[in-house]
Structure 1
Amino acid sequence: MKIAKKLLVGISVLSAVGLLGACGNGSKSASSSKTTEIEFFNQKKEMQPTLQKIIKEFEKENPTIKVKFTNVPDPGKVLKTRIASGDAPDIINIYPQNTDFQEWAKAGTFEDLTGKDFLSNLKAGAAETYAVNDKIYSVPLTNNAWGFFYNADKFKELGLEAPKTWADFEKLVATIKEKGETPFALALTQNDSWTLNGYHQLAWATVAGGFKAANDELVRSPKDGIKTSSEIFQQVTKELDLLHGNGQKNATGATYDDAIATFAKGDALIFPNGIWALPAINNQNPKFEIKMFAYPGVKADQQLTVGAADLALSVSSKSKHKAAANKFLAYMTTKKAMQKYYDVDGSPTSVTAVDTEGKFPETEGVTQYVFTDKQIVWLQKEWTSEEKFWHATVNYVNSQDQDQLANNLNTFFNTMKK
């Protein structure tokens, strides 16, 4: 009996050990399959459905990572509040050409991504364009660009061609008027003055000689250094003058939506704006072929476009899940993710594996220059703000008052000068 009892006790002990072992193995298994949640803060509202599909595919391939997809009204303001309070999301869609991004990068808000393997999936120099102190804090996946939409059918009917030089452009506008048509669809109100930001910036860049030369004239000149007597100033205003009196009848009171409707109905032949406007134009069901041309230079082959990163992702330096966040960034640089995005959005992508051949021919006249020396980054990359520049642009187009423009520009840029 004693032997039997000892055997029974021994068996019980072994069973208990076995159960504890099983529980331990179960805990280890549960731990290894624990889900890590990362937050992706998005500012591309119009691409939310597509990004959601990409996230679902990522989660399917990475079952231990859950992506919390955050979309809020006024995301720029919300992001500033969250970063100021130390609550930065793990992954942030933020525009690296903006001053706030550069300040945050210098302050250590973002993870240094320099040397990450997935950067090799991008076009050469794409990420380096937005480096801060020679370090990469952003993965720029797509780019926007600015130029001129035009009614290709009407151009063909009237025997017109897209201009190659500024002189060609002036002649084109004059010919359109001679043939009884309206050259431009414009929104010349203060609220929508941003629509001509690209036009004014490209005027300075093409006349002065590029991004640096333009900002040398504007933000790095002495205080009150923008003079009406300057040859560059005179040429820039001459180019702005091309818009004066050449828009639709209600241009001075027209909104951005009004201008789009005017162009889409065929009531004006040229619409100055960024490639982002194409979906809005198509929503109006235009009955003609749409094409684009870039901002002409003084001489042939000096044309330029202006733009910058659109879908660009950064990782918070305070993220507790940097490995998972970097895995998501790596996924976003693959063809599987970005082909799905590009096929909807149409913005030029830096991801080299994406098939773009023959797609979005409407904007090809401008997008062909993206990621080349024919595209400059928005000049406000070196400014502290930009809205007053927009207002000065529209004020001048409406008034043609050179003294007022010089005064407005000096007042705006003097605040950025020492």
Structure 2
Amino acid sequence: MKKWMKWTVATLSIGFTVGALGACGKENAKNDGKTTIEFFSQKKEMKDTLEEIISDFEKENPDIKVKLTNVPDAGTVLKTRIASGDIPDVINSYPQNADFQEWAKAGVFEELTGKEYLTNLKEGSAETYAIEDKIYSVPLTSNAWGFFYNKDAFKELGLDIPKTWDEFETLVKDIQDKDRVPFAASINTADSWTLNGYHQLAWATVNGGFDGAEDALVRSKKGAIKVSNQDFKEVVNELSLLSGTAQKNANGATYDDAVATFAKGDALIFPNGTWALPAVKNQKPEFEIGMFAYPGLKENEELTVGAADLAVSINAKSKQKEASEKFVAYLTTKDAMQKYYDVDGSPTSVMAVETENKFPETQGVSQYVFTDKQIVWLQKEWTSEESFWHATVDYINSGDEEQLANNLNSFFDTMK
């Protein structure tokens, strides 16, 4: 799981003024005639690859040294450093999160609108995270949510990937009729994050996308989520597909249990994000893995949900802004991101990267990333998200529609 997904946004307090940033910004010394910049990364698992990319950059730019900072609990460390004014030159943060948006509005990040290197990215990818029509982040990769499935079992049983929600319901019934288990899932509070994408996509497909979902959930009046609403009825119908169709004791299963259940072939579909592929492959499944996106009510209305994973910004008060710009520009090139993509496998916005026939397992979902069939995680407009996760599994386990409506109103009313 990507660490940023689990973070619950707390009440934000920017303990400084924009004018103070210049005085507090960390100065980078020039050693041996080289300009040193600090790159703060939250991608712990990609440390070795990032060091290789940095080494390549330094060979092309012998007058610049890049210091990679990669620390435990990086998100908390970054918040502390920004609050104190000790801001790295180049920062890997998540532009879909509320803290990033507050920092950008407070003047922490350099505005990047119109930068030439943005043309190296797929059209609209940077604009997706614009704040008041201004770009402060370069989103280089993205994660995405969907359904892993056992391709060999599907072929053996004559099952097809669903193109609509009705076809998905039929698929699940067919799997059960063939005495197989449809879903490998963790339907409990501790790992409720695993079904966050499912619930968000239910609201998005029913309501026509990101804006429609937000209009129904967080932009509506207090108490507006009602059992009698048509969209609510359709959403609970989709959530109900997971009720009684997962492996035995799914309500006590952990994320790791669900991974193992799918990898052993004991269930044919595993709802989760692209980030789960390494965990599944580590179990050495004896079948071919595929993915499909969340089906819409009609054909060609399928969606995935996700957001920037490796995204970088520049400290607006950096003492080494020119060097920082050079490094960020380098990260948008094939030389840098091909090396990153070949290890990480997350869909990339850098157009020059060769992706064909690579990571075929996730292609059924990754093909939609950075297109209009991917929405950003809905918590982009929320102040927290954990209670939403809990409401999801509570409903799947209980089937209590009134309680779900009450839980959702209690959650969203605090944001209205």
User: Same fold judged by TM-score > 0.5?
Assistant: yes
Residue in structure 1 matched with residue 86 of structure 2 by the alignment:
87
**2:377 matches 1:378:** yes
Say whether residues 1:190 and 2:181 are aligned partners.
no
1:295-353 Cα deviation digits (max 9, x unpaired) = 00111111111111110000111211111111100110000000000111111111111
Structure 1: which 4+ aligned runs deviate by more than 3 Å?
none
| 1:312-351 mapped onto 2 (5 Å cutoff) | 312-351=311-350
2:362 is equivalent to residue 363 of structure 1: yes
Q: Does 2:171 correspond to 1:172?
A: yes
Moved more, 272-281 or 33-42: 33-42
Greater Rg by CA: 1
* Matches of 1:253 and 1:92, distance apart in 2: 38
Question: Pairwise mapping of residues 45-194 of structure 1 onto structure 2 (< 5 A)?
Answer: 45-194=44-193
What are the equivalent positions in structure 2 for 1:216-255 lying under 5 Å apart? 216-255=215-254
* Deviation at residue 32 of structure 1 after TM alignment: 10
In 1, the alpha carbon distance for the partners of 2:404 and 2:44 equals 35
Once the two structures are superposed, residues 179-216 of structure 1 have per-residue CA deviations (whole angstroms, 9 ceiling, x without a partner) of: 11110000112121110000000000000111001000
TM-score, normalised to structure 1, is 0.91
Letter in 1 for 2:402: D
Tell me, in whole angstroms, the C-alpha distance in 2 between the residues paired with 1:139 and 1:392.
33
Rounded to whole Å, the distance in 2 between the matches of 1:253 and 1:72 is: 33
2:207 matched residue in structure 1:
208
> 5+ residue gaps in structure 1?
1-30
Which of 105-114 and 61-70 deviates more?
61-70
CA separation in 2, counterparts of 1:253 and 1:74? Answer: 28
Does residue 1:275 correspond to 2:269, yes or no? no
Q: Write the distance in 2 (CA, Å) between the matches of 1:352 and 1:372.
A: 13
Normalising by structure 2, report the TM-score. Answer: 0.92
Report the CA distance between 1:72 and its aligned residue.
Answer: 1.2
Distance 1:338 1:217 in 2: 38
* Alignment-derived partner of residue 405 in structure 1: 404
CA deviation string 1:108-138 (max 9, x = no partner):
0101111111111111111111111111100
What is the distance in 2 between the residues matched to 1:331 and 1:113? 15
String of CA shifts for 1:50-96, please: whole Å, max 9, x gaps.
11111111112112211111111111111111111111111111010
- Two-structure CA RMSD over aligned residues (Å): 1.1
CA distance in structure 1 between the aligned counterparts of 2:92 and 2:260, rounded to whole angstroms = 31
Alignment correspondent of 1:26: none
Q: Find the aligned partners of 1:62 and 1:191 in 2 and give their Cα distance.
A: 47
Stretches of structure 2 lacking an aligned partner (at least 5 in a row) = 1-29
Paired with 1:61 and 1:249, the residues of 2 have a C-alpha distance of 56
* Residues 12-50 of structure 1, C-alpha deviations (whole Å, 9 max, x = no match): xxxxxxxxxxxxxxxxxxx89611111111111111111
Match of 2:327, SS? helix
What are the Cα deviations for residues 149-197 of structure 1, in whole angstroms up to 9, with x where unaligned?
Answer: 0000000000101101101000110111111111000011212111000
Describe the SS at the equivalent of 2:319. coil
CA distance in 2, matches of 1:230, 1:362: 38
| In 2, Cα distance between equivalents of 1:350 and 1:281 | 25
Name the amino acid aligned to 2:401: Q
1:397 partner amino acid? I
Q: Displacement of 1:243 after TM fit?
A: 0.2
For 1:217 and 1:195, locate their aligned partners in 2 and report how far apart those are by CA, in whole Å. Answer: 22
Percentage of pairs with the same residue: 72
Q: CA deviation at 1:286?
A: 0.5
**Structure 2 residue 265 is the aligned partner of structure 1 residue 266:** yes
CA distance in 1, matches of 2:390, 2:78: 26
Give, in whole Å, the separation in 1 of the partners of 2:72 and 2:390: 25
CA distance in 2, matches of 1:171, 1:115: 48
**Partner AA of 1:83 in structure 2:** I
C-alpha distance in 2 between matches for 1:370 and 1:118: 20
Question: Post-superposition shift, 1:265?
Answer: 0.6
* Separation in 2, partners of 1:374, 1:204: 14
**Structure 2 residue matching 1:160: 3-state secondary structure:** coil
| Number of positions where the alignment pairs a residue of Structure 1 with one of Structure 2 | 387
The match for 2:415 is 416
Residue 250 of structure 1: how far off its partner (Å): 2.0
